[in-house]
A = this chain, B = another copy of it.
Amino acid sequence: MDKKTELMKHAVRLFSLKGFHQTSVQEIADATGISKGAFYKHFDSKEILFVHVLKLHHQEIMTEISNSQASFADDSKDIFKKKLAIEIERTLSNHEFFMMVFKDFTLTESETLKDVFMELRQSTITLHKTILLDTYGASIDPFLPDLVAILEGLMQQYIFVLVFEKKQVSISKLVNFITTTIDAVVNNLDCMEPVLTDAYSPASTIAEGFQQLTKKIKASETHQEKLLATLELLKEQVEQENPQEFLIEALLVYLKQFAFIKNEVIYLENFL
């Protein structure tokens, strides 16, 4: 194999593993078994190497999609699906590379930052689950993870496009569009099969809700004991055979007073 290709192969691996900035030319050279000085005989800079890698990846996907052959039985929608499948498969099989952006950003060394990201992400997902349930009712339950994915995918993509293309659109127009899109999907759920079935069951959902609340309360600085005791009592009641409804309600109202856990409480409430 060509030394240039070999360098690129090792670069992809290292970039994927540690991110672009966190990978030094020295490491790439070491992995390939040449010196740093020799590296610069092949590529003028680390950045140019990266550009080559990027273009190669892109070209490979494009070529494969162009060359995908339709069989005679395929209608236009089958072809559509085939092309999507190629793009998704290819991206997934190089997913480390495409996730490099985040690797580069989150210093993988520190676990702290990763934990923070996870925590914030979980909190956002809970929020979205809650507002979807409140709006479309409990019948969407089996599709909840998928609908969250759709909602978040749409929001992120539109924000991205608006920022990058520097477009000005009215937020209300955008919100209406997204809502109508989700309406259309929800109305069509009968014909669909969920993709993100995370071993979904009411029991596990309730447990998850309690767990999140406990975590959040423990992470806070105020009223820890009081809130944990409340939560414990609530758990007892919920698990009892003859729960006292008024007590559960009262405890929920009480918990909701604390703004920093309000979303989590509302989420839990949906399943009780």
- DSSP class of A's interface residues: helix, strand, loop or mixed? helix
Question: Which B residues are CB-close (under 8 A) to A150?
Answer: 154, 157, 181
Number of A positions contacting B (CB below 8 A): 93
Cβ contact within 8 Å between A47 and B112:
yes
Q: Is the CB of A65 within 8 A of B95?
A: no
Cross-interface CB contact of A58 among B77, B102, B110, B123, cutoff 8 Å: B123
Please determine whether A162 and B92 come into contact, CB atoms closer than 8 angstroms. Answer: yes
Chain A 178-209 interface 0/1 with B at a Cβ cutoff of 8 Å (1 = within): 11110111011001111110100000000000
A156 to B155, CA, bound (A): 12
| Integer count of this chain's copies in the complex | 2
Query: In the assembly, what is the distance between CA of A80 and CA of B140, in Å?
Result: 15
- Whether the Cβ atoms of A263 and B66 lie closer than 8 Å is yes
Query: Taking the complex as formed, is A138 at the interface, i.e. its CB lies under 8 A from any CB of chain B?
Result: no
> Are B66 and A262 in contact (CB-based, < 8 A)?
yes
- Cross-interface CB contact of A263 among B62, B85, B174, cutoff 8 Å: B62
A159 — which chain B residues lie within 8 A by C-beta? Answer: 88, 91-92, 95, 98
Residues of chain A whose beta carbon lies under 8 Å from any beta carbon of chain B:
20-21, 47-48, 50-51, 54-55, 58-59, 62-63, 65-67, 76-77, 79-81, 83-85, 87-89, 91-92, 95, 98-102, 104-105, 107, 110, 112-113, 116-117, 120, 123-124, 127, 131, 134-135, 146, 149-150, 152-159, 161-163, 165, 167, 169, 171-181, 183-185, 187-188, 191-196, 198, 259-260, 262-263
